[in-house]
Amino acid sequence: MTAKKKTPAKKAPAKKKPAAKRKPAAKKPALKKPAAKKKPAAKKKPAPKKPAPKKKPAAKKAPAKKKPAAKKKPVGKQLSPAQKAAAKKAAQRAAAAAKKENERARLSAKKAADLKKKEEAAKKAAKKKAEAERKAVQRARQQEKADREREKKRVAKENQKQRERLAKEKAALKKAQDAERARAKAEKDAAAAKAKAEKDAAAAKAKAEKQAAAEAAARAKAKLPPPKPPIVKGPSRDGVTSTREFNLEFLFAQRELLLAKRAQLSGQATRLENEANALIEDAEMGDVQFDEEGGEGDTLVVEREQDLVLSASARYSIEEIDVALERMKTGEYGYSVISGLPIPKERLRAMPEATQLVTELAGGFGRR
């Protein structure tokens, strides 16, 4: 029995915290919890035989083998409570150290990942910034190039406008100079022509005065009326020629008066002639004589003579109206046949066939 007990005593040195040797494996985040559960493994003698503690299934099966180890306690020497407490504290310290190491590793990995992310973000930001700067430089160059092109075009346009303005000013100056030369020449020619015209007019006037004086002397010697002034004629329309003193509207109105008066006189002459003829037919040829030997107080003879005189007067007035209508066609209507002066319109409205002035009638030059 003592030999059997010594066997576990000899194996006591084999209980050197095999979990402490496995600390490098505890650095992996996956072995955090199994490291804390390996406290009973320190009591196991056959624990060093497990070659692969890294596998998670082996760590899970370890608690299932604790029960037979608990039954074998009477076989070996049982640990004291102090040893158990020390072993428990050692296991706790190992677990805390492993947890702390795992936390440190996690924090280190997180810090490394964060640093890597920051570096990548910094690289990305630097790349983005460099790209933005490159694009900004490119845009600035393009803008500068566009500004240079615009400035070049503006300068070219300004130069073109300047050239056009100078050309216009030069053309205007040349035109003004030509116009001034033409005006000076025209004034010179006009002055020469005016001087010549005045000279010719003076000569013609002297000649005309001399000729007029000679004609006046001849007329005075022959007792003839003065010469008629020329009639200034205007446009013609509908067989009527206007003049400076009588327009077409006045002449058309006078023509209506002449035609109306002609019709009236024509009817009157015809009626008087018919009445005179009727007196001859009604009278007895044996009792009445229409000669000088007849009685002067014979009523029929007097009436017949009156009718014939009135009829002849009407016929004479009709002839004067026909002459006035003809003079209206040639542009001579309204002017005196004696002096050639215009007859007042009031006289023409009262007597449209008039051909003389009232003063001329008073002087005995004519009938009307």
The domain segmentation of the chain, as residue ranges, is 233-283+297-362
Which amino acid belongs to residue 261?
K
Q: CB-based burial of residue 265 (10 Å sphere; 0-12 exposed, 13-18 middle, 19+ buried)?
A: buried
Using the predicted structure, report yes or no on whether residue 172 has a pLDDT greater than 70: yes
Token representation of residue 232: 């200034």
Which amino acid belongs to residue 252?
F
Name, of 69-78, 81-90, 325-334, the range with top average pLDDT: 325-334
Using the predicted structure, report yes or no on whether residue 214 has a pLDDT greater than 50: yes
pLDDT digits (tens, 9 = 90+) for 64-74: 444 444 444 45
**Which pLDDT score, from 0 to 100, does residue 335 have?**
92
Exposure string of 302-338, with b = 16+ CB inside 10 Å and e = fewer, is: eebeebeebbeebbebbebbeebbebbeebbbbbbeb
pLDDT digits (tens, 9 = 90+) for 114-153: 888 888 888 888 888 999 999 999 999 999 999 999 999 9
Which amino acid belongs to residue 185?
K
Q: How far apart are CA 242 and CA 333, in angstroms?
A: 9
Q: How far apart are CA 53 and CA 19, in angstroms?
A: 10
**Which pLDDT score, from 0 to 100, does residue 368 have?**
56
Q: What is the mean pLDDT of residues 327-347?
A: 90
Average pLDDT value for the chain? 77
Instruction: Quote the percentage of the chain above a pLDDT of 90.
Output: 32
At 239, give phi and psi (nearest 5°).
75, 15
Using the predicted structure, report yes or no on whether residue 14 has a pLDDT greater than 80: no
Name, of 225-239, 292-306, 346-360, the range with top average pLDDT: 346-360
The model's confidence at residue 30, banded by pLDDT at 50, 70 and 90, is: very low
Token representation of residue 265: 């006189």
Using the predicted structure, report yes or no on whether residue 202 has a pLDDT greater than 90: no
**Which pLDDT score, from 0 to 100, does residue 289 have?**
53
User: Which residues are CB-neighbours of 294 under 8 A, at least 6 positions away?
Assistant: 288, 301
Q: How far apart are CA 292 and CA 103, in angstroms?
A: 183
**Which pLDDT score, from 0 to 100, does residue 222 have?**
66
Q: What is the mean pLDDT of residues 258-264?
A: 92
| Neighbour count for residue 90 (Cβ, 10 Å) | 15
**Which pLDDT score, from 0 to 100, does residue 35 have?**
46
Q: How far apart are CA 327 and CA 352, in angstroms?
A: 12
Summary count for the chain: helices (H), strands (E): 11, 2
Q: What is the mean pLDDT of residues 99-122?
A: 88
Q: How far apart are CA 321 and CA 319, in angstroms?
A: 5
**Which pLDDT score, from 0 to 100, does residue 31 have?**
42
Q: How far apart are CA 95 and CA 126, in angstroms?
A: 44
In terms of pTM, does the model score above 0.85? no
Of the listed ranges 48-57, 88-97, 142-151, 295-304, the one predicted with least confidence: 48-57
Q: How far apart are CA 268 and CA 365, in angstroms?
A: 29
**Which pLDDT score, from 0 to 100, does residue 8 have?**
43
Residue 241, strand partner residues: 236
The domain 233-283+297-362 having CATH identifier 3.65.10.10: the answer here is no
**Which pLDDT score, from 0 to 100, does residue 77 have?**
59
Nearest CA to 249 among 259, 267, 235, 263?
235
